[in-house]
Structure 1
Amino acid sequence: MPLMYELLKCWDSTEEGFKIKDHLLKFTTDEVAVLTGLPNTGAEIIWHNEPLGDVLSTELKSEMGQLSRSTDVATMLKTFICFVISNLFFPLNSLKTPRRLVSIASSLEEFFSINWAWTLREFMVNEFNRMATKLATEKPLGYINGFLPLLLVWFLEHVNVNTPRNPDSRPRFLRWEGNTNIFYSSEKAAHLVATLKEKQIVYILDGLSAEEADLVHADLTSFQPPPSPLKQKSHEPSDLPPAKKIRIKTSQKQKSPEHELPHESKEFQAAQAFAQPEWLSHLEERMHNLIDAVSRKIQKDIGDRIDKIEDNLQRVEGKDVVFTSVNVILTRRDIDHILLDDCLDNFHIDAYAFFVDRKTKAFPAIYQPYLYISPMHRILKSYNDYSDLYIKHIKKETLKRTNLLIIPIIHNNHWTLLVGRLKERVWKLYDSLPNPQHKEICVTVVNELYTDLIKCFDADITKWRINIVRGTPTQSNSFDCGMFVCKYMEKVVVKDKVDWSAYKYWQNEMPRYRTDFAYQILMEGESVELKHVKKCIESAAKAH
């Protein structure tokens, strides 16, 4: 997210805080506790050091999606805890989860014995430090692991630039639920951070309630920090009031959080053993409501087509091929990756390019001629396979009849789209996580391409400018970059000039785009195993 990138520029690894307008705002465990509702007590775990197992976060997410009100409490709690920890608190680009996760989710005693506020904060600080090192050495950032929405909420609570939609909700993370004005483009994010006024900075979280006081580790009086040592003479106009310092109005003493645990059994072996505590009934109801809300959102976003697809996919084994086209092979498991909000692979991008190509050939009056270069070309070269399998269609003659070169690039787990405008002799970079450092890999790709096809080009394409396209739709998560590249590709081949401001809604529509993509693949599949599936889907589509 653009705002996250701007905040990371302000991170001080030594002080473990953000330097904003000559002030140091500490990123503390007590604040994480207040924002999330997780108490700052218990055993401190360094999550990065936990040995990884074979269970993937996507598998746990799939299990979460299968819960219903008829699910027994034991299974529901275990699945819910696994999902929250693996997909929300500590998501990894590798999708792997620690071996200890199942043990934690299977024991309420172990779960409540952990200081999750400290563990979350330590994990994120580790990521911030890693990103700060990359920024200092001018290396591409790639993806940031961890619970990034927490940093966004932390920033919103520390600056008076937005009003929470639910000001009285607790934990404070819920104050910002439903706010649609807190996501910024790259330009607006940079402008926001650069133009903050001192009077807009909130040094401490205001209005701490008695319940929130139970969450923090420090005395309330120590929650008011001393003046920042970074504070310099203000450059604000003299008629402005001093920066706001809000004191917590409560004398509540710190208490050790107590969690009511079942006496009969602390393990998830029988729901009856711990179904009695009142807190558990409330938790069960909240989980039911969450499951219902997720189901309603899916129905609203993409209708019931997803249910038809998933019902029929159960007839196909994970390794069964569901789609083939020239050099592209997709299995049932590849479809799962699309539907489960996973990052897309090379074959996914090539498959989408196949559908774009077919559309452009069907409507030549709307689309301009282009040549597509698969990301698999660089993959093969990395294995010392210099085959021209993926570039043999590019000839001197075809380049003369072409307007565009379309090149999807995967680097540091992030997809971007590089487009060569042959008539204008310029490269355009489309990036859903705008970052000037992403241009570096483009230089490498262009140099390699020119070396491979030097006899085909009339000009030295390595001397063309590489311009980042501004104002394009951007992602607000860590896994949709591949789908954004697919959507960019779909638009840049249109003859008419694209008004990118008309597509700012893309992120909200990603569930539908992913479902449509999976639907297209299944309808195109020619495997014997899918004949019955296709027939069922066609019937469902007609009914829909």
Structure 2
Amino acid sequence: MDSLGIDMVQLRHKCRTNLLVEVNSHLTAAQKARIQSTPFRWTIQMGETLKLSCPLLLELLYRWDEHLKGFRVGSRLVKFTLLHVCFALGLRIVGERVLMHDPEESHTRSLFEGKDITIPTIVEQLKLFQRDEQVDDFCRLYLFLAFSVFYFPKTTSPVNGALLSMLDNLDALDQYNWGAAIYDSLSASLTRSARSVSEGMNSDQIWALVHVCLRKKDQQPTSVSFPRFLQWQKLNMGSTTIATAFEKNPVLEDLVCSKEEIDQHEVLRQAMTEANEGFCHWKCLTSDNEDMDSKHERLSGQFNELEHKVLILQQEVDRIKKFIGLQSTPTPTKDEGHDMEPVYPGEGHEDGPPWPDEVHEDEPACHDGSPQPLRPNPPPCTKEKLLKKLYSFCTRKKTSDGGRLEIIADMFGQYLSLQDMLCMRPRHCVNTLIFLLAAKVFMRDEVEHTGAVTRYMFSHVLVDKVKNELGLIRSGLRPIWSERTITEVAHDNNAMHSLMHCNLIFAPALFEGHWFCYVVDKNHKVLYVLDSLGKHHDSSADLMMLTNTLKGRFEELLCMLDNTLDKRNFTLQILYDDLPQQHNGHDCGIYVLKYMDIWDCVPRWGGMTMPNYSEVDINQIRREFVCKWVLHPMNSRRTKVLEDAHLPLDL
């Protein structure tokens, strides 16, 4: 994928639902009743062929993260989970594991009478089992066709026969976790296809329509139905439009279902229970909820109005500058603003223009005939200048080859692209993907230098999980956390061991566009809140509830780590550290990264636990972090980035 443009790739898939639609049109009442008694009852409601959008599937493949099992949307990563399969296909995500094996002896296999098992063969055999007394065998063949062209499609022939024996006992199908089987198959297909672009998919288009607003402005939203594939939308968009939508359109990070759907479908109620244990974020809509499209339209209108006011204010500033005799800067138009490349402190040629090349002896003489004097040799580039050049290269807005998703940092199961690094430019807000990588790097570097982890770093995922549980807690439900939950949110199989031996536990948080950090001091049983806006930022009721709920989760965690603690009486004290304040509205993420880097409860800077950074200091810190990650010895992309930037490999 790195060497090929996305428009040059041809996508093949074997999701051939037209065959199911054709069979559905001839089903008898007895056949429908038997199929409806299985977990795959929804397929008989398929009245139209499901049209897959190949440009959308290609874009999804381009954005698939095989390590985190999610898709990169703008500056975020939105996970693909078991709950998506349940919502999309109406299948259980609890139950016994589906056994993928292909025994020679199977009643369902015997229905083919020794023939090669291909999709045309399945269709032919279906025509032979039309009598009512053959309804069970017809159902087996129908479900196997559904497996082959919809649930488990393959690009190879013959079709996947590993599930034939599972169809021998139709009455036992309900006890298996079909959602997990399809999820595992689809995740493997995504990973394989992201490398070779070959397999077909079906749930991914639903994922994109759920999470990314891909509807045209004049297209009316359809009513919600369960499962979602019955609400399939035909998408007629080109690859450029879809790519732009993934970067700029609103993103819904929660799956949404109605109270009526939960009441009507046992499969969905079971899935909600599983979701509470860490599978996905979801919300239940009631009649009091504002329609999502209306809310988006209202907020978009407010944004456009504010943007217009900003332009008017900028014009007023220009007029004032002219009035007092200062040189005015032209006001960017709305379209021009996106392409502007302002020079911030720490960027550009601070030390003057670059040195000209040395004049050779055969160059023409001056106008008076005298030899032209030699210009001095340029001074050697210092390491500081080389690092500035590297920083500018890694945070540039445009690339010569259009490689917006080119990876420049890849280590410890996390990676960052050029697009991700844009947030490390001056006056930009740090995105969540930065914290996923930074948390791993901080801990691995500490192990490298000290041999142990004394400062355990969660990413933002921990606090995000707690935020998404607040709705349940308000309604009287409190999901149970286990060691498995901690391992999942930490993306670390050794999390419990490391947490047991560390002294400080860091958990960065993003709330209403502002970054701050929670830190647990295990030795002194204190939960610190580190906030570059000060304690007054914690005045909202929602944020206070988040802090108190997270306090309870940390108390549960410490009791898991130390069984001598009394779960009923143990409590953490909440303290707000008095820290220097940020000077603007966009550097909070950099402050949190520095908290994770050096904060240790000890007042070292004039009675404070952190230095008082200036804006110039913060820009320097941005550059230091980017260069540190790109030049890290474990970064598999280090050499390529240095070569592309025309920098020495031993930098």
TM-score grouping bracket, smaller chain normalisation: 0.3 to 0.5
Structure index of larger Rg: 2
- TM-score, normalised on structure 1? 0.42
Q: With structure 2 as the length reference, what TM-score do the two structures score?
A: 0.36
Q: Which structure ranks higher in relative contact order (CA pairs < 8 Å, sequence separation ≥ 6)?
A: 1
